[in-house]
Chain A
Amino acid sequence: MSRLRFRPRRDVVCREAVELVTDYLEDALSQAQRRRFEAHLAGCPDCPEYLAQMRAVVALAGSITPDDLTPRMREEFISVYRGWRDDGADDPV
């Protein structure tokens, strides 16, 4: 063990930064990792766009609205529901 000897960590490069993006967005990086990641972003002309694109992916996926049930499907669900309701509800515990 290198006792008390401070060794500066190597800077994050772009190739590593793209692999850290999700952990960064998930707040799963250690404080030191987070600092190094953010230091890289601050000095990199391209990685901020990459991060913004990953954020955009999350936003786009979250904006997908489910298709409305077709009238036929809705009818099927309602009939399943009525079958259950008229059947005396729950299974015995």
Chain B
Amino acid sequence: MPEDPDSELVSRVRAGDEGAFAELAGKYQGSMLSIARGYVPSGAVAEEVVQEAWIGVLRGIGRFERRSSFRTWLFRILVNRAISAGVRERRSVPVEDMGPVVDASCFDAGGTWRAPPEAWADQVDDKVIAAKISARILSAIDELPLQQREVVTLRDVQGLSSGEVCTVLDISNANQRVLLHRGRSKLRQVIGSEFGRGR
């Protein structure tokens, strides 16, 4: 297992360092809220769920054996709290929107691009443009269906490995890839529309 990026912060929290706890909180709070919001009816309830998760983390951190990464453990606690507080049932099979990720009208009968994507990928290297787009991508992630939002947040925003994501969400690797694919494809469209026609 690769080294846990939070290893040092966890040790400091255990040793009584309140600043280390605030640092962990700052790092994960936004993603935790975004995920919790998918399960519960309101932002206020989501905040309660996240706070309960943090209290659960503190209660358990002395026993946390580092068999998984801290973030895997943290998000697992969060998802469990969110499920018990939530009104939505978790489905292991993604049934939400299973159509093609690019509209069929963009291809001709043979499956070749009729309306190819407008080029923008290299513009993202520009720091100013990237900063502007980053703000938009965050709101676009919040608009994804719950399961896609979870996978994209954990995998792409927080940088968990696919194995870690599967453990947190209790889904198969294949399932995880489907969700990641659909989520990323939608973000691509949103970003594309920031540049032009968004095809």
Residues on A lying within 8 angstroms of B by beta carbon are 13-16, 18-19, 21-23, 26, 28, 45-47, 49-50, 52-64, 66-69, 73-74, 77-78, 80-82, 84-85, 89-91, 93
16 residue pairs bridging A and B, Cβ less than 8 Å apart: A14-B112, A26-B180, A46-B116, A46-B117, A53-B191, A56-B124, A60-B137, A63-B130, A66-B26, A73-B29, A74-B22, A77-B22, A81-B22, A90-B62, A90-B63, A91-B59
Q: Do A62 and B60 touch (CB < 8 A)? A: no
- Contacts of B1-28 to chain A: CB distance below 8 A: 13, 16, 18, 21-22, 25-28
B-side contacts of A59, CB under 8 Å: 124
Q: Do B141 and A61 touch (CB < 8 A)? A: yes
Contacts A14-B113, A22-B177; A57 near B184 (Cβ below 8 A): yes
Q: Do A90 and B159 touch (CB < 8 A)? A: no
B-side contacts of A73, CB under 8 Å: 25, 29
Q: Which 3 A-B pairs have the closest CB atoms?
A: A13-B111, A52-B121, A22-B181
Chain A CB within 8 A of B36 CB: no
Contacts A16-B111, A66-B26, A81-B21; A57 near B180 (Cβ below 8 A): no
B-side contacts of A61, CB under 8 Å: 137, 141, 152, 156-157, 184, 187
How many residues does chain B have at the interface if contact means C-beta atoms less than 8 Å apart?
A: 58
Instruction: State A21–B30 Cα separation when bound (angstroms).
Output: 28
Q: Do A53 and B134 touch (CB < 8 A)? A: no
Taking a contact as CB atoms closer than 8 A, the residue among B28, B54, B60, B177 that contacts A91 in the complex is: B60
Q: Do B191 and A57 touch (CB < 8 A)? A: yes
Which residue on B lies nearest to A89, using beta carbons? B62
Taking a contact as CB atoms closer than 8 A, the residue among A14, A57, A69, A85 that contacts B26 in the complex is: A69
Q: Do A60 and B117 touch (CB < 8 A)? A: no
Chain A CB within 8 A of B95 CB: no
- The A interface is mostly helix, strand or loop, or mixed, namely helix
A-side contacts of B31, CB under 8 Å: 66
Chain A CB within 8 A of B68 CB: no
Instruction: State A58–B133 Cα separation when bound (angstroms).
Output: 12
B19-52: CB near A (< 8 Å → 1, else 0) gives 0011001111111000000000000000000010
Which residue on B lies nearest to A15, using beta carbons? B111
Instruction: State A45–B102 Cα separation when bound (angstroms).
Output: 17
Shortest beta-carbon distance, B114 to chain A, in Å? 9
B-side contacts of A58, CB under 8 Å: 156, 184
Q: Do B102 and A15 touch (CB < 8 A)? A: yes
Shortest beta-carbon distance, B186 to chain A, in Å? 9
A-side contacts of B26, CB under 8 Å: 66-69, 74
B-side contacts of A78, CB under 8 Å: 18, 21-22
